[in-house]
Amino acid sequence: MISYVNLSYRLFEDIVKLIKPYFLDIRDDLHRANLNYTLEEWLATAVFTTAWTFFLETIGLSFIFGLLAPPVIAIVLGLTLSLALSGLIFFLFYSYPATKAKTRESKIKKMLPFSVSYLSTISSAKVPPIVLFKTLAQFEEYGELAKEAGNIARDVEVFGMTFSEAVKKQSKRTPSTEFRELLWGINTVISSGGDLTIYLKNKGDELMNDYRRRIRKYSQDLSLFVEIYLTLIITGSIFFIVLSSIISAISGGLGTIFVQSFVVFILLPLLSIGFILIIKSISPLE
């Protein structure tokens, strides 16, 4: 059975060839995001998805607007809104690889200090360099970093590349600057006949020191966020409820209970969720 991606490419191959030069930046993002699609396949899927959603949206929205407005106006409104929604869908296809690549970069950066220390320990046994990455790829705890190591091991063992070729290839595809520098350093040390164990130990110490610095900075930022939350959100909400109750008792306002309920049951939880998401986004531990 033909897949959705292959069907998309067969239907829109000619269109993809025309628009491909305008979206070459997506190719690198697809590699960094570890998405196993060619640029042509991704663009074809985006165009096909945008096309059939535009068709269905136009019919559905025109029917809905037709219940409320004359047919011509309903069709115009349906086409306009469908065009906007389909444009949004295509934009999501365009931006998703870059977004996922940044997410992978963040995950790799968080696990890199621990993985390099682990590689240093294995390297001290004087095993071949490819063994380091084969072993690292077996640990799912390292997440995206294990996938990066697995790609190197696959290129060497399955595709017959030399270790140096595989490392150079992966250094161009990885979204992490730190991991790219590590790969180039490993390749340089091996090519020049240096001591890989010493290099990995020094690199591990450097990355761990940077990790400790980020932990300290996160601790300081967390203290600041807690103070802001307690001062503005909690204390501010209590002050508002007390003040509004006093004003309501004096002026006889009837909408005070509604406003207070909105603040306590809707606004306060939303602000709390917002603070939680911000804290999680800047955490070096997540």
Domain ranges within the chain, ordered by starting residue: 4-102, 106-209, 212-282
What is the amino acid identity at position 221?
Answer: D
> Who contacts 68 (Cβ-Cβ below 8 Å, separation ≥6)?
74
Give the number of other Cβ atoms within 10 Å of residue 174's Cβ.
Answer: 26
159 secondary structure, DSSP code? S
267 secondary structure, DSSP code? I
Q: What is the mean pLDDT for each group of 10 consecutive residues in the chain (286 residues)?
A: 83 89 89 89 93 90 82 86 91 93 90 90 88 89 89 91 92 91 92 89 91 88 86 83 76 67 83 85 72
pLDDT of residue 278: 84
pLDDT of residue 285: 65
> Who contacts 226 (Cβ-Cβ below 8 Å, separation ≥6)?
none
pLDDT of residue 44: 93
Radius of gyration of the chain (CA): 27
What is the C-alpha separation between 89 and 146, in angstroms, rounded?
31
What is the C-alpha separation between 238 and 222, in angstroms, rounded?
23
pLDDT of residue 271: 86
Q: Locate tokens 């025109």: which residue? A: 62
pLDDT of residue 255: 63
pLDDT of residue 151: 92
What is the C-alpha separation between 198 and 124, in angstroms, rounded?
9
What is the C-alpha separation between 176 and 157, in angstroms, rounded?
24
Q: Write down the pTM of the prediction.
A: 0.76
**Among candidate residues 78, 146, 142, the one with its CA nearest the CA of residue 111:** 142
